[in-house]
Amino acid sequence: MPPISFADITAARERLRPFFVPSPVRHYPLLDELVGYGIRVLVKHENHLPTGSFKVRNGTASITALTPEQAERGVIAATTGNHGLGLAWAGAARGVSVTICVPKGNNPEKNAGIRSFGATLMEVGDRYDDAVAACRTIAEQEHRTIVHSTNHREVLTGAGTMSVEFLEQAPELDAIVIALGGGSQAVGALVAGAELKPSFKVYAVQSQGASAQHDAWHDGVSRSGAPAQTFAEGIATGSTYDLTFDTLRGGLADFVLAGESMISQAVRDLWTITHNLAEGAGAAGLAGLRLLAPRLAGQTVGIVMCGGNLDAQRAATILAGGTPGV
């Protein structure tokens, strides 16, 4: 049983409606040519949303679901960037205090963006897990609501609004390939597809350098604290998550791994063809589609440019033909 229902997604969509319009879906014939196998590729441009990422859906769905008492006390989260940006933007829109914990050395451009929306940003520890621990401590001290980037029902409902939109905008979709970090997008796609188009297939891709979710999906053994070495920080997860693991295992049609160089090439291809600059996670769907293309021959397949917040240094490396180090 999925952790959210289609009715939950519908309710979240109504709460999100006053804040932003649906992100565009576009077809680029040159992408069809690149992928081959007679596949028609449709791109959902979540990078055109406020904050440049689908995570603004998750943050807004969570902030707008708070009780008046919870809103008064504020929220807190640990993040490497896009989740924090989404919460900070939504908090500013509703007047809710937001504190974001990030690890030291986090993407400076994302840090600046979080602060720009009035959120308090705290750099804590060397790893994401250190930021999570600090987040819990501060939440207890200040009585804030923790909004986990995955293990939070309203986060999942917000992510689910993306796939409902996509299937309404392009009902001809046969499948979607999603970059998977915590799994909120994929769970939302599975719930949306089950309601709107039962034949719709959901595929996932992760980086070879951060394969915990992929490995767990294949062997059925949950993970915690596994290595996560990838420049695509949006999918740099070393753990599985209670709210998404079972649904992913039971619902995904397949789950593949893309190398760092493949993800970098996907960033370049998307820039050349669409003139949109995707971050690593935002390009991983294309990398995954290229791996899955022989199986999806002749179909209409969606990919999601889930984020466009690539920092300048990595962008320069990738567009010059390289692959960023970790």
Task: Return d(Cα 179, Cα 296) in angstroms, integer.
Answer: 17
Give the pLDDT score at 6.
98
Percent share of the chain, pLDDT over 70: 100
285-323 pLDDT, tens per residue?
Answer: 999 999 999 999 999 999 999 999 999 999 999 999 999
18-44 pLDDT, tens per residue?
Answer: 999 999 999 999 999 999 999 999 999
Residue 105 has pLDDT above 90, yes or no: no
- Tell which residue, 178, 309, 150, 163, has the closest CA to residue 239: 150
What is the CATH classification number for the domain harbouring 193?
3.40.50.1100
Q: Is residue 249 part of a domain?
A: yes
Q: Is residue 31 part of a domain?
A: yes
| 256: enclosing H helix or E strand | strand 254-258
**Same structural domain, 105 and 169:** no
> Could you tell me the residue range of the domain that residue 198 belongs to?
6-54+152-319
**Same structural domain, 139 and 159:** no
DSSP state at residue 284 = H
Report the greatest alpha carbon distance in the chain.
Answer: 57
**Same structural domain, 43 and 119:** no
If pLDDT is split at 50, 70 and 90, which confidence band does 81 have? confident
DSSP state at residue 23 = P
If pLDDT is split at 50, 70 and 90, which confidence band does 326 have? confident
Residue pointed to by tokens 């567009």: 319
Regarding predicted confidence, which is higher, 238 or 159? 159
Regarding predicted confidence, which is higher, 129 or 229? 229
Give the pLDDT score at 149.
94
Give the pLDDT score at 107.
83
Q: Is residue 210 part of a domain?
A: yes
Give the pLDDT score at 129.
75
Q: Is residue 71 part of a domain?
A: yes
Residue 116 has pLDDT above 80, yes or no: yes
DSSP state at residue 149 = S
- Find the mean pLDDT for residues 54-66: 98
Q: Is residue 325 part of a domain?
A: no
Q: State the pairing for strand pair 201-207/254-258.
A: parallel
Lowest mean pLDDT among 86-90, 176-180, 224-228: 224-228
**Same structural domain, 95 and 181:** no
- Tell which residue, 209, 212, 108, 67, has the closest CA to residue 150: 212
- Give the end of a domain, one of 101, 130, 146: 146
**Same structural domain, 93 and 167:** no
3-state helix, strand, coil in the chain (%, to 5): 50, 15, 35
Task: Return d(Cα 213, Cα 180) in angstroms, integer.
Answer: 8
**Same structural domain, 236 and 247:** yes
Give the pLDDT score at 11.
98
**Same structural domain, 103 and 247:** no
**Same structural domain, 32 and 66:** no
Task: Return d(Cα 215, Cα 221) in angstroms, integer.
Answer: 8
Task: Give me the number of domains the chain comprises.
Answer: 2
**Same structural domain, 122 and 75:** yes
Give the pLDDT score at 194.
98
Using CA atoms, how far residue 93 sits from 16, 19, 40, 89, 309, in Å, is 11, 8, 38, 6, 21
Q: What are phi and psi of 41, to 5 degrees?
A: -100, 130
- Find the mean pLDDT for residues 102-124: 93
The overall average pLDDT reported for the chain is 96
**Same structural domain, 275 and 127:** no
122-153 pLDDT, tens per residue?
Answer: 999 887 778 888 999 999 999 999 999 999 99
Using CA atoms, how far residue 246 sits from 56, 218, 243, 251, 299, in Å, is 25, 12, 8, 8, 27
- Give the end of a domain, one of 146, 181, 202: 146
- Find the mean pLDDT for residues 255-276: 98
Residue 103 has pLDDT above 90, yes or no: no
Give the pLDDT score at 289.
99
Q: Is residue 241 part of a domain?
A: yes
- Find the mean pLDDT for residues 109-130: 91
Q: Is residue 326 part of a domain?
A: no
**Same structural domain, 139 and 168:** no
Contact 14, 55 (CB under 8 A): no
- Give the end of a domain, one of 89, 111, 146: 146
197-216 pLDDT, tens per residue?
Answer: 999 999 999 999 999 999 99
- Find the mean pLDDT for residues 154-161: 98
- Tell which residue, 44, 31, 57, 53, has the closest CA to residue 302: 44
Full strand arrangement of the beta sheet holding 25-27: 25-27, 40-44, 300-304, 175-179, 201-207, 254-258
Q: Is residue 324 part of a domain?
A: no
**Same structural domain, 170 and 309:** yes
Task: Return d(Cα 43, Cα 198) in angstroms, integer.
Answer: 21
